[in-house]
Chains A and B, each alone.
Chain A
Amino acid sequence: MDGIHDLGGKEGFGRVQVEEKEPYFHEQWESAVFAMVINLGDNTDRFRHSVERIDPVSYLTDTYYGRWLGGLESKLVEEGLISQAEVKQKLLSLGVADEGRVAARPSDKVAVEFKAKANQEYPNAARTLQTEPLFQEGQGVVVVPTGVEGHTRLPGYVRGKRGSIVALHGGWVFPDTHAHGLGENPEHLYTVAFSGIELWGEEADADLEIRIDLFESYIRGF
């Protein structure tokens, strides 16, 4: 989806704000959100997609763990583990009558195939493939020009651009289907190099190179 999360190359965000001696967690609730996500983390792709779907204003104004909180709530609702009515009721019992802006955006387009249990390890997403890779190191490729409606790991800024394969990584679970409960469908994964000028035009430094990991179905030979 062409969501607010797809930030590569967007302009206007200003300087990077660095905090010296930053703790991992600024507030107790941030650490609780982190731990809940980790302990219920059966499907990283699905979680990433639930974060992408929180409303854009919240995405930019909530802190990082605020985004995780919105994403976690959507994911739990979609998986049928909790309902938003239950959240509302629980908030009432904690003295909160007015919910204000709710970042979570549960979708009915996510297939329910829930089987997460607490204490699961993050499953490794590498898969052995029987098929040979379509592309080889050094080969020129062009990225498909369009995105997809749901989850994807193809950022907008490389679509339609020409680059070259610099590394092959074997087979990996395909996030675009895995996030939606539509199976792992592993694909070959490549690192593709692009020149700054190809991506940004003449304004880019002549010696800038961007390397990004792309699934086989995101690219074509030319």
Chain B
Amino acid sequence: MSNSDASVRAEALESLLIDKGLIEADQIDQTIALYNERVGPMNGARVVAKAWKNADYRKKLLEDGSKAIEEFGFVGGQIDKLVVIENTASVHNVVVCTLCSCYPWAVLGLPPRWYKDPAYRSRVVREPRKVLEEMGTVVPEDKLVRVWDSSAEIRYMILPELPPGWSDLSEADLAERVSRDSMIGVEILGAV
């Protein structure tokens, strides 16, 4: 379907739903504004920075992600059960949804196109090192690679390793440096 075909078809559906009183035009605008303004990886980054700075919080986060992030009051959904997985010196973790595009919206925002495209979904469960290398991330040979396929309603977020040299930064400064991709597991922070 071309972009203009999709555009007019979406307009037709929206118009029909409004005619039938199933949806209001305001709701559409409010939803779009909410996600554009308040839902994004800056939320997950705050969680990661806090876990790096606070060992007790880190422990709670790894035990029960949904409960540990309650204090932030994030909106956006898709975190019925959030499981946070830590990258360590021996294991590198990466997340995918091979069947559709499951992703923890409330902490990472809406997923990028590549996460939803066939190339990533088909390949990362089979040859993750190669896929990550093509995306600019070389996983050290001595690490095991563990891929998490989110096939049910559990949502996964990666707690990246704190890069050497970042330990003196404040929590707020750290939060600004944590990337979306590091929390999906396709990037290693601080790697040159």
Which residues of A32-54 have CB atoms within 8 Å of chain B's CB atoms? Answer: 32-36, 38-40, 48, 51
A-B contact pairs, 17 of them (CB 8 A): A10-B118, A16-B135, A25-B32, A31-B32, A32-B10, A64-B117, A81-B22, A82-B17, A90-B12, A94-B8, A122-B77, A153-B151, A155-B98, A155-B149, A155-B151, A200-B126, A210-B125
* A-contacting 9-mer, from B47-55, B107-115, B171-179: B107-115
Q: Does A181 contact B (CB under 8 A)?
A: no
Interface members, chain B 121-154 (any A CB < 8 Å):
121-123, 125-129, 131, 134-135, 143-154
User: In the complex where A5-B100, A17-B114 touch, is A94 in contact with B80 (Cβ < 8 A)?
Assistant: no
Among the listed B13, B35, B118, B143, which residue makes an inter-chain contact with A34, where contact means beta carbons less than 8 Å apart? B35
Q: Which residues of A contact B161 (CB under 8 A)?
A: none
Asked if A27 CB lies within 8 Å of chain B CBs, one says yes
List the B side residues contacting A69 at CB < 8 Å: 1, 6, 9-10, 13
Beta-carbon contact of B118 and A60 below 8 Å? yes
Chain B residues contacting A100 (CB-CB under 8 Å) are 1-2, 5
User: CA A76 – CA B20 in complex, angstroms?
Assistant: 12
Indicate whether A113 reaches chain B with its CB closer than 8 angstroms: no
Which A residues touch B153, using CB under 8 A?
125-126, 172-173
- Bound together, the chains give a CA A118 to CA B7 distance in angstroms of 22
A29-B125 in contact (CB<8A): no
Given A31-B32, A191-B154, A212 contacting B149 (CB threshold 8 A) = yes
Considering only residues 37-77 of chain B, those with a C-beta below 8 Å from chain A are 77
Q: Which of A100, A172, A208 has the most CB of B within 10 A?
A: A208
- A24 engages B152 (CB within 8 Å): no
A85-115 interface code vs B (CB 8 A; 1 in, 0 out): 0110011001110001101000000000000
Contact B113 A82 (CB under 8 A): no
List 6 additional contacts besides A8-B121, A39-B27, A82-B17; criterion CB under 8 Å. Answer: A10-B118, A11-B123, A17-B114, A22-B112, A29-B11, A58-B1
Chain B contact residue count (CB 8 A cutoff) = 69
Q: Does A129 contact B (CB under 8 A)?
A: no
B99 at the interface (CB under 8 A from A): yes
Q: B23 at the A/B interface (Cβ < 8 Å)?
A: yes
Q: Could you tell me if A16 and B109 are in contact, using CB atoms closer than 8 angstroms?
A: no
- The distance in angstroms between the C-alpha atoms of A191 and B151, with both chains bound, is 10
What is the minimal beta-carbon distance from B183 to any residue of chain A, in angstroms?
16
Assuming the contacts A29-B10, A91-B9, A211-B147, asked whether A81 and B20 have C-beta atoms less than 8 A apart, the reply is: yes
CB contacts under 8 Å to B, within A190-222, are 191, 196, 199-200, 204-205, 207-215
CA–CA, A25 to B32, complex, Å? Answer: 9
CA distance A205 to B12 in the complex (A): 49
Also in contact, A9 and B125, with CB within 8 A (given A14-B119, A22-B113, A27-B7):
yes
